[in-house]
Amino acid sequence: MKAVVCEQGELTVTDMADPVPGKGQVLLNVTRTGICGSDLHGRHHADLVADVAEKAGYPHLMRMDQPIVMGHEFVGTVAAYGPGCHKRWKPGTRVVALPMVDSDTGPHLLGLSEKAPGAYAEKVVVQESMTMLVPDGLPDDEAALTEPMAVAWHAVRRAERGRGQAAVVIGCGPIGLAVIAMLKASGAKKIIASDLSSRRRELARELGAHVVVDPRETDPFDAYKPGRNETRSVTDLVGVALDTMGKLRMVPGPVPWWQAFRLAEKIGEVPAGPVVFECVGVPGMIDQIIGTAPLRSRVVVVGVCMEPDSFTPSMAGTKEIDLRFVFGYDPGEFRDTLHMIADRKVDVRPLITGAVGLDGVDAAFTALGDPEAHAKILIDPSSDRLRP
């Protein structure tokens, strides 16, 4: 088969032996593969990412001096089974799979490890237990986006956005745009999006953002309009608390007013800020958000910053800012995302801005460096197209 191999930052189309599925594994013919931002980053900074992964407990992440076949966002058709499989689907059946496989050396992240070649190739091996049938009528282009959209769905679920609570998305690259789409699918009625790129702001509107700003002209938190149960300043919070407690003192019956205050807090009568999704991943962004976000905001860090960073804890404490960091998704979220796309509860089509064959992957990596040109480029291994 043909595959794109990354080694020392160089992308080369290479002839390789067809992969052989092991116990409990399935061989797929790849029909589409998405190029992920982590692939772009890993091309030149794999060692830095691998060092962090090793400290976190996974020692097999790709390194610069290893020949790596990337690609963990994909759809394909069943070609063959390894031993010990249930053989749930006939050859030619379209499926997607979570990008992880089991082996004699333990579990590996597909497309992110030398021990688990990915889908920048004509064929890929996946774990049968992690594979799911693509619903009829769902095009390959859209099915291939199940994985990145599952990342966004996990972030939205982890945010635990309350009813009527606003969402502010900082950064409208592919993952920020995916978060916007999933927020819309979850029923969010107030989505504020911020990005420097005019093209990305346009896509943010198309995917469901209600207010879109250029941060050079408008602070996204100035565009955010607090509701009746939201507040922006410490002074306002003290005033609202005193007013609320004064009213609750008048509550008749045996319930003490401080218990009534806790009840009011639970049902949203005590002020809370918006949910903020940090989707940029550069040093200083978390500190900037803490400094400008309204009181009691919940900040969900989706962007991956690989460099050391800092913020002022006393500012976060004074404003009672919640910080949550997210990574990946679980199998249930992956399955739910696939069916949300198939049922048109979320529309991923605006995210797809280009397609290439294997020979065009290097050019696609370059093109994705221009935020005005592309959001998501897909690889079609059967195509001889050279440019996105």
Q: Is residue 199 part of a domain?
A: yes
Residues 117 and 31 in one domain: yes
Packed helices 198-207 and 174-185: angle between N→C axes, nearest 10 degrees:
20
Q: Kindly report the CATH number assigned to the domain that includes residue 181.
A: 3.40.50.720
Q: Tell me, what's the pLDDT at 229?
A: 46
Q: Tell me, what's the pLDDT at 163?
A: 83
Q: What domain range includes position 277?
A: 149-325
Q: Is residue 185 part of a domain?
A: yes
* pLDDT, one tens digit for every residue, the chain (388 residues): 999 999 999 999 999 999 999 999 999 999 999 999 999 989 998 999 899 999 999 999 999 999 999 999 999 999 999 999 999 999 999 999 999 999 888 899 999 999 999 999 999 999 999 999 999 999 999 999 999 999 999 999 999 998 888 999 999 999 999 999 999 999 999 999 999 999 999 999 999 999 999 999 999 998 887 654 455 555 555 565 556 555 555 555 555 555 555 655 555 555 578 999 999 999 999 999 999 998 889 999 999 888 889 999 999 999 999 999 999 999 999 999 999 999 999 999 999 999 999 999 999 999 999 999 999 999 999 987 655 6
Residues 307 and 361 in one domain: no
Residues 126 and 166 in one domain: no
Compute how many other C-beta atoms are within 10 angstroms of the C-beta atom of residue 152.
29
Q: Is residue 336 part of a domain?
A: no
Residues 250 and 295 in one domain: yes
pTM of the model: 0.89
Return the structure tokens found at 149. Answer: 């959209």
Q: Tell me, what's the pLDDT at 104?
A: 85
Residues 320 and 200 in one domain: yes
Residues 27 and 166 in one domain: no
Q: Is residue 372 part of a domain?
A: yes
Residues 167 and 183 in one domain: yes
Classify residue 254 by its DSSP letter. Answer: S
Residues 141 and 180 in one domain: no
DSSP string covering 105-124: T--EETTSBTTB--SSBSEE
Q: Is residue 332 part of a domain?
A: no
Q: Is residue 337 part of a domain?
A: no
Q: Tell me, what's the pLDDT at 105?
A: 85
Q: Kindly report the CATH number assigned to the domain that includes residue 17.
A: 3.90.180.10
- Number of domains within the chain: 2
Residue 118's alpha-carbon distances to 28, 30, 35, 386, in angstroms, are 11, 10, 11, 20
Residues 241 and 186 in one domain: yes
> How many residues belong to the chain?
388
Domain end: 310, 325, 340, which one? 325
Q: Is residue 333 part of a domain?
A: no
Residues 233 and 373 in one domain: no
Q: Tell me, what's the pLDDT at 258?
A: 56
Q: Is residue 330 part of a domain?
A: no
Residues 63 and 87 in one domain: yes
User: Please, are residues 363 and 356 in contact by the beta-carbon 8 Å criterion?
Assistant: yes
Residues 123 and 256 in one domain: no
> Whose CA is closest to 326, among 145, 108, 150?
150
